[in-house]
Each structure stands twice: as structure tokens, then as C-alpha cells.
Structure 1
Amino acid sequence: MNLRRDVFQAIADPTRRAILLLVATQSMSAGAIAANFDTARPTVSKHLQILTECELLSQELNGREVYYHLNPNKMKEVSDFLEPFRALWDDRFNKLEKVMKSYKPKK
């Protein structure tokens, strides 16, 4: 049953976003990731499971340790989805800036 495996629900959680930021710079084991949080290791493992099922993270077995890597292709999909909204807001802010620059208060 895949109830919470939507990418946007996954990145909505602040702990999962923090995990993505940690793993973005280097691959890390679950233990190394969990050491950065004040929550129980099983809680971090659940976050890792969700991020892996959403394909935001990939796993690599190295000896007895599982290392987690950021999946840049999936992150690009998220970025590509958000880009039209970013362009829309940039346009709106540019228009607002023009209005504000042309505003002359009455004396």
C-alpha cells in the first residue's frame, strides 16, 4: 500500500528536507544521518524509507552498511515542475517593482 509516496508530500516534511540537504553533499549511512537528529533512529529510518520510495534517494550496499545518495534526476523533475511557478512569481514581482518605482506620493 503506497499512501505517502508522493514526492511533494515527502519534501513537505522538514526532517526529510534536512535529510536531503545532508545527503546532497555526500553519501551517508543511516547511522550517520540519524546522528544529526534528536529523534529515534527508527523514525529517521522511516523518513529514509519514504525518500527512497519516492526515488529522491537511492541506496547502495557497501559491506554491511547501506549508503544513501541523492537522486539528482528526481530532484530535477521537482525543479522542472516548479519552474513555471517561479517564472510566474518573478514576472509578478517585476511588475510590482515597476509600480512601486513609478509611485509618487501626494504632497
Structure 2
Amino acid sequence: MSMVGYILGLGDRHPSNIMLHRVTGKVLHIDFGDCFEVTQTRERFPEKIPFRLTRMLINAMEVTGIEGSYRFTCESVMHVLHKHRDSVMAVLEAFVYDPLLNWRL
């Protein structure tokens, strides 16, 4: 999810917006209010990093940390996204004209 979040410009990633299943270890991101690099241009607390990878998240990984399946998966995802960049861009272009993009509760 880190690589896809990076491509989408997903911000506001902190432990309260990342859910971890205690049994399976599956990760689910929630709260997508700050996406498409909105967080980089906001006045208060702009995002300075491409994605959040804290010690707490690294400690939740296997003994190899970021050098194991995390790194392999990140590299694989970036390769697939690059290989299919035209399809990815076609899907993302739909959001450029989405009237609900700036909708808030």
C-alpha cells in the first residue's frame, strides 16, 4: 500500500489511519480525505515525506524488516505500476473531474 499511496499522493498516514488485523497481519488503510498531494500544499502540517514508514511499522514486519518481503513487494508493485502506467493513468484521470473530490462531512 505504501507504493500505491505514494503514486496517489495519499497523505495523513498515521497509526490511527492504518488498521492491522491481529491474526492475519493484513493491513487496511482508512481515511482517504487527503489524497492527490493535497497534503503537500496545505498551510498547516504539510507532508514532507513520500510515505510513512515508522519504527513501529518496521517492528511489525518479519525479522528481515524492510529488506524482506516488504522491499520485494514494493519493487514488484512499482514495476507493475510502471508497466501498466497507461491503464493506471486512465483510471486516475476519472478522479480529475470528480465533483465529489473535495466533498467533506
Which TM bucket (shorter chain)?
under 0.3
More strand, by proportion: 1
**TM-score w.r.t. structure 1 length?**
0.27
